[in-house]
Structure 1
Amino acid sequence: MTERLSAAELERATGILSTITSAYEEKVVGQQGLRRSLLIAIMTGGHILLESVPGLAKTTAAKALADAVNASFSRVQCTPDLLPSDIIGSQIFDAATASFSTLLGPVHANFVLLDEINRSSAKTQSAMLEAMQEKQTTIGGTIYPVPHPFLVLATQNPIEQEGTYHLPEAQLDRFLLKEVLDYPEFDEEIEIIARIDSGVYDTDGATAATASIEDVLFLQEAAKRVFVDDSITNYIVSTVYVTRHAAQYISPELAGCIEYGASPRASIAFSRAARALALINGRDHVIPEDVKTLRHVVLRHRIILNFEAIADDIAPETIIDAVFDSVQAP
């Protein structure tokens, strides 16, 4: 049995998270859901799919978090003509030595932002799967590990579908969380303009590092040792089970909207993310509210709706809420 966190370790983890959050909030106004998801991702080694219209600080948030922990950051603008070698790297022939050398691609960074991932072809998207799942790339038959920690933040624009490629369900399932961003509140937009006028977002004004890679690795180990009671595990598995047998538990109208329920990866994602969220909230144990808070970001891309549900504009969040209402929390 894994040893639980000591009071000193919990205090250290809380302090690191507080300093990272402060650095994040220097650059990003609002978007607390994005902040929470980014912190969960770096503590679990998972990846995030972001859906939003342009201009909602996705790049700024990822760069600010990378700067805050002194991590490397790269951004890839996905286009239909993007090749796998443009992401993972390639071999370059050196005529002087008559030999090949390897040039690693932008995926070999701690934080990788794939902007508009659905604009890249299926072949290019599949090249990312090895890096995301296996934490490595293969170039010319040689394996190159990606840096540790490693986080992929992929974005897609929901309002522009021309020239895009649908993300396969199996690929969506590889993302630990899916966050949907909305426009800032009125007061938040006023603050954004004020910060621009004050020079906060100048290109040379990188966020000062307030933590280190070693701190991130400590957070990852600490998150693994957050206690999850058997009753919480049963609660997680029960809710995921209901998504696969919805007709027995929720209304026929909503149950009929589900083409496929969530896979066991959803249960794993709940368990990992809930541990991280408990640590963010200063606890060494998971409570049912942690699981419930994460219900949308964990399940919205894993429950596959049928054509009728999409045509009727049924939101997956509506079905997810019904699923959770049908399960008794411990």
Structure 2
Amino acid sequence: MPSGTRYDSMQYNRCGRSGLKLPAVSLGLWHNFGGVDEQSVAREIVWSAFDRGVTHFDLANNYGPPPGSAEENFGNLLAADLGTHRDELIISTKAGYHMWEGPYGDWGSRKYLLASLDQSLERLGLDYVDIFYSHRPDPETPLEETMGAVATAVKQGKALYAGISNYKAAETREAAKLLKEMGCPLLIHQPRYSMFDRWVEEDGLLETLEEVGAGCIPFSPLAQGLLTDRYLNGIPEDSRIAKEHGFLQENQLTEETLERIRSLNALAGERGQSLAQMALAWVLRKSQVTTVLIGASSVEQLDQNLDCLDKLEFSEDEIGTIESVLD
């Protein structure tokens, strides 16, 4: 049974100009929930997140490894017990990366997107997801076709809201325009964003999202674990860099990067936070950001990251110090 106080301390933010509110911190199942991971731990993490007011669980067709296994495992959890709380949950999935052989198993065609969504729903054991994303723009498929497929998913009742991920500002503006014309407003955009990856600021994406009335849910806010204290004293054996199927590579951990991490870690300590908590709060300080997407490999890590909500404010001096470190 979930905690009776699960909604007492979580902050919920309105997503753009929609009627939907999302928790300030959402749980992503990109890592740690695939077929190679221990499912008893994954179950404990999901339930612990729900007990602390995390209502949004983010998936994609290719999450694993192997691809599809994260959706299948989350579907098993829904079938076992979490599904009795379906109306309290926001469940999202995406399509846009390689899933099966041949010309129809990748990118952004109508054929691929709608077939992929049907497969995702089967793995999840659901009639609908709350948010269905185009996971990345397809340079060879007209945007009208890709957005038309997303809108169709909503109109068929297989998704409640439309989302996009990894789209630049100009593409986002056009996608929002097309979806609005189709009677399916763009709810949310999921870009990569962290202290170490600020392309959304340089590209003007955040201002664009405010302009079109969409929310923002940044992924990789901890730069795949670089913005933590994990690598201050070498590379742990159980870290993402050490994992064969990880996305973080050892060559990213340069001495210059380590110096920045050490400086930021020192400032976080002065604020009474961990570096990860400060990095999450730094992303959440942006008014356009509805919720920040975290991963977790343990309940302890989950709890520590959720505690970022205890201190979200930054002084001008602190922001200035961070900017000088990142410059």
Asked if these proteins are the same fold (TM beyond 0.5), I'd say no
More helix by share: 1
TM-score by length of 1: 0.29
The structure with higher relative contact order (CA 8 Å, sep 6+) is: 1
Computing the radius of gyration from Cα coordinates, the structure with the larger value is 1
TM-score by length of 2: 0.30
